[in-house]
Structure 1
């Protein structure tokens, strides 16, 4: 039976990945800060699907957190067949007005620990000639976003890094996928400190985490490098930067987001 390791597994897309993979008879390693939520989820999925679940309670914004997770997995002689780097968060507002420590923690979680876990588990997958990595990026990764400058930059890193790894590993039996959701039902907007006007995705319908996970797993089966979820509107949106001058585009986005800030 194969095993999936999921970061940010206590809620949202991470929790949905856990539920869906458990239903597909995969063992799970669940990682998040919330011990109660993780243990409750692990108990439920173990009982319902007769799988094995391991819980690692860890704040991944701490430096070296990826190594701690890897060492725990190694100590239990577990093999990770599917790594899902899902944990991440955003922050809304002008960069100079936001807390620098929060921006640094965002870089640690959205980039550094993702890079660390990938670097630790990928060589084992290459040696076996099998495995998969799903990195959660965002449609925000396709262009700069004023008032979400650090978040968009971290997701651009995830997108570019993942696509490069897809090319490097596609002939080695290891598949890497960048998943780029649009607005999704989760606690993202609340944690990012968005104003009330963004409570429902700025008036746009939000995808469910179930839709994102379903599309992601189908994209893995098709060996895609990148998946933009949320329908044709998001697919068109991410291609706008290819045809519009960058100064014009960023200025337009700045006006849209600044109006929502009021």
Structure 2
């Protein structure tokens, strides 16, 4: 490993290989995206806050797949990070052919339980950084007439509001609508923009959000493995689909959500939130 976090490929003769930039790549779905695209022969640029985990992953993927991996640390809560990241990428002479916006986390308490600074950082990570990286990546993709952007949204972006998670569903709804609009704007250009809306997916997300005990009590059939979510997303991106909902159960849930009257949906959400509070209190 070189000091700049760059892991060189052993065979440098393949100049046609494309490069994927993945945010939040150190764990969970982001890590699975890195593994999947590495196996497909893409070079990788990986970014997250935890460089130790990134460097271990990058070295392993480079060795296993004969690709080049580059690690650039960055905290998307810092408004300067997207532009700094892009400047470093272009300064190294790298080209981003695939952008996978995946960095994110959850906040579970009521809106007023957090200081505004935490909400501000959340919006920066979950909304502003996604949009800015799309804005930075798209001009080059359009000029080259090839590019893929995947924005990791959520089934929560299609669901009614809930008690707690106040900004989470709202941020994911933003990503869905932005991706749909960008997909229309780039139609016929060779650039595909896709929002993926996972449901319950096995990853570190729920442990980080502090709700692992609650989700462990949920039926197993509701859950998907992260690698399956990633595989469906890749196929949808290559097919030029604006949105994808991985998994049959999740697609059925989305269908129901679209057809339930808004007032009834909110009533059901209120009852579900109350049941979760009761369960948490008894745990």
1:38 aligns with 2:41: no
Equivalent pair of 1:3/1:79 in contact (CA under 8 Å): yes
Instruction: Figure out how many residues of one structure are paired with residues of the other and give that number.
Output: 261
1:165 corresponds in structure 2 to 182
After TM superposition, the score normalised by the length of structure 1 is: 0.95
Which aligned pairs between 1:165-244 and structure 2 lie closer than 5 A?
165-194=182-211, 196-199=213-216, 201=218, 205-231=222-248, 233-244=249-260
Q: Which runs of 5+ in 1 are unaligned?
A: none
**RMSD value over aligned CA atoms?**
1.5
Inter-partner Cα distance in structure 2 for 1:13 and 1:60: 17
Deviation at 1:200, TM superposition (A): 5.0
1:67 corresponds in structure 2 to 83
Q: Larger radius of gyration, structure 1 or 2?
A: 2
1:246 aligns with 2:269: no
Inter-partner Cα distance in structure 1 for 2:226 and 2:144: 31
1:56 corresponds in structure 2 to 72
Most deviating of 78-87 and 237-246: 237-246
After TM superposition, the score normalised by the length of structure 2 is: 0.88
2:128 corresponds in structure 1 to 112
Matched position secondary structure for 2:224: coil
Which aligned pairs between 1:142-153 and structure 2 lie closer than 5 A?
142-146=158-162, 147-153=164-170
Inter-partner Cα distance in structure 2 for 1:43 and 1:131: 25
CA-to-aligned-CA distance 1:171-230 (integer Å, 9 cap, x gap):
111000110000111121122222622235576532111010111111122221110012
Q: Which runs of 5+ in 2 are unaligned?
A: 1-16, 279-283
